[in-house]
Amino acid sequence: KQEVTQIPAALSVPEGENLVLNCSFTDSAIYNLQWFRQDPGKGLTSLLLIQSSQREQTSGRLNASLDKSSGRSTLYIAASQPGDSATYLCAVRPESYNTDKLIFGTGTRLQVFP
Amino acid sequence: GAVVSQHPSRVICKSGTSVKIECRSLDFQATTMFWYRQFPKQSLMLMATSNEGSKATYEQGVEKDKFLINHASLTLSTLTVTSAHPEDSSFYICSATAGGFIGTDTQYFGPGTRLTVL
């Protein structure tokens, strides 16, 4: 059974710091991995999607890497801002299922203070 | 990008009543929709997968008779929580895909519905 874990569960940092959020998954047989942002009481915003054949994806201050064989992904946030405060979720799309369903991680709650 | 809406955004009901939540794809045809549940400070848990014109596939531990799913058209799926109880209080989120090869399609998420059962 695929399990997705995120570390740390919560993080509070001053503005300007560079951050690394970690995601690990137990079964390396995945189609892709996706990082989402969720603001309190809101839905999900997709940040980055990495296909299993890719090593990383970048969007602005965000960079996500994927090491499929070791079951790990990291989300790097450069020069953090208070507006980055949110919960960050990673999700994998397993190869073993005959659907497009996602398995979500436990999330990292990020707070960036001025 | 593709937009998915949910209605209502928030609902409060008495214990024992049924609540219907709608999920709509606004600018694309969604062959598959997914329903997730999220308890406070927890991650999203998939409840069921809904394909247009066929019965939904429920995840283990999710009661089919309690959470009725209808995917009657390519732009609308509904989740009905029957005889809701306080433990059903949660944040319900749907997502939709436009079809294509498994593993390559993008899921677009709705804004969620906050259900509170008194």
pLDDT confidence band for B103 (50 / 70 / 90): very low
Which of residues B3 and B113 earns the better pLDDT score? B113
Which residue type is seen at B22? E
Q: Mutate which of B21, B39, B44 to test chain A, going by most A C-beta atoms within 10 A?
A: B44
**B43: nearest CB among A43, A46, A107:** A107
At residue B92, the pLDDT reads 97
Q: Which residues of A touch B32 (CB under 8 A)?
A: 99-100
Selected residue of B11, B34, B43, B90 to mutate for chain A interface (largest A Cβ count, 10 A): B43
The structure tokens listed for B10 are 């928030």
Average pLDDT, chain B: 89
Question: A93: which chain B residues are within 8 Å (Cβ-Cβ)?
Answer: 103
Top-confidence residue, B117 or B3:
B117
Which of A1, A33, A37, A44 to mutate against chain B (most B CBs within 10 Å)? Answer: A44
Which pair of structure tokens corresponds to residue A20? 């690394």
Please tell me the distance from the alpha carbon of residue B59 to that of residue B45, in angstroms, as a whole number.
9
**C-alpha closest to that of B110 among B33, B52, B19:** B33
Chain B residues in contact with A95 by the CB 8 A cut-off are 103
Hey, is the C-beta of B46 within 8 angstroms of any chain A C-beta?
yes
pLDDT in tens, chain A (114 residues): 889 999 999 999 999 999 999 999 999 999 899 999 999 888 898 899 999 999 999 999 999 999 999 999 999 999 999 999 999 999 998 886 666 789 999 899 999 999
Chain B environment of A104 (Cβ under 8 Å) = 36, 43-45
B99 pLDDT more than 70: no
Q: What is the pLDDT of residues B18-43, one digit of tens each?
A: 999 999 999 888 888 999 999 887 88
pLDDT of B43-63, one tens digit each? Answer: 899 999 988 888 899 999 999
β-pairing, A108-113 vs A10-14, is: parallel
